[in-house]
Structure 1
């Protein structure tokens, strides 16, 4: 499945709260969500390789899975 990360999500990765969360971590988390996501939904409890916990907001579109934002813990 193709994972599309919005510009907003890329911008959030530069914030201190999302420090040490990489694009690879986001792609692995988004691919790990089973099923279809028809509306924007928050998924909680993912861990980056650095050990940092984060949530993602994602939804499925025609081209793949759209990651709208990332929320670091």
Structure 2
């Protein structure tokens, strides 16, 4: 499955609240979501390799899985 990260989500990785969460962590988390996500949905409790917990908002589109935003804990 192709994972597409929005510019907004990529920008949020540079904020303090999302420190230590990498693009690799986001892609792995998005790929781990099972099934099809028809509407934008928040998935909670992913853990980055650094140990930082984060949530993702994703939606499936014809081009792949769209990561709308990342929320660090």
TM-score, structure 1 normalization: 1.00
The answer on 1:10 being equivalent to 2:10 is: yes
Mind listing any 5+ residue stretches in structure 2 that lack a counterpart? none
**Deviation of 1:68 (Å):** 0.1
The answer on 1:44 being equivalent to 2:37 is: no
Would you identify which runs of 4 or more consecutive aligned residues in structure 1 move more than 6 Å?
Answer: none
Cα RMSD between the aligned structures?
A: 0.2
TM-score, structure 2 normalization: 1.00
Mind listing any 5+ residue stretches in structure 1 that lack a counterpart? none
1:19-57 Cα distance to aligned partner (Å, 9 max, x none): 000000000000000000000000000000000000000
